Structure 1
Amino acid sequence: MVESLLDIAEVAERSGLAPSALRFYEKRGLIASAGRNGLRRAFRPDVLERLALIACARGAGFTIAEIAGFLVATPDDTKLRARMAEKARELEEDIARLTRMRDGLHHASTCMHEPLVECPDFKRTFESSATLTPSPGHR
């Protein structure tokens, strides 16, 4: 059975990325085209999974270079493993911060205190984070 290839326009549409981004990722070695369909690049369907992984890693704050390293990493790559562990800790802090914010917003959406941000229950949501600073990826 012959695997059907996806035209770059279809990959762009299905991934939500611009064709220029796909060409950039290909140039950086993050994805590979499987050939051409006329003048257009064509990709195997599994490129969509790779693009989802890249999008997730970008969202977590990994650089293109870090993602490229991640995609070819072996179990012996101790430097990359250390970076992954560091990033996991940063994400845990982000998740805790966002969870506090979500909880505060849920409360504020039904609270009758005036002004809302002065509500003791709302303020208590953020007490534990008063000394925390955002992770380096946040401005």
Structure 2
Amino acid sequence: MLAADTVPGVTTLQNVLGAHVELVLAHTISEATALLTPELDAIVCGIHFDESRMFDLLRLAKAHPAIRRIPFVCYRDLDTDLGATVVEGLDIATKALGAAAFVDTYSLKRMNGVANADADFRDRVMVYARQARTSGDM
């Protein structure tokens, strides 16, 4: 699974997902594109990845015929309240570009606590990863 984000974001992904999947890490768009292979079960990318280039990586992944079947999960984790309208816009935009999901972990943590939010996020990502492994034509 490709984990693309800032250093703190990748640390979060390692803490939340690392015990369950093998993560390959990318902090820049060039690192991430070099790691895009059909063998990935999922791509998880934070909105602040490489100076907010999540949408660029999403477009690149969905434009590549051998990669587009891989579920791309976008997420937000920073402790800043963006407001419901901005979060809804991110959700709509990511899905319009082909993302499997947009997960606002910041809001999940505020509503359900950190442990429950982390488990919910992990469960969502793992569902997409399992689907990718069982369906070669996603």
TM-score, normalization by structure 1:
0.26
Q: Which has the higher contact order (CA 8 A, sep 6+)?
A: 2
Max Rg structure: 1
TM-score (norm 2): 0.26
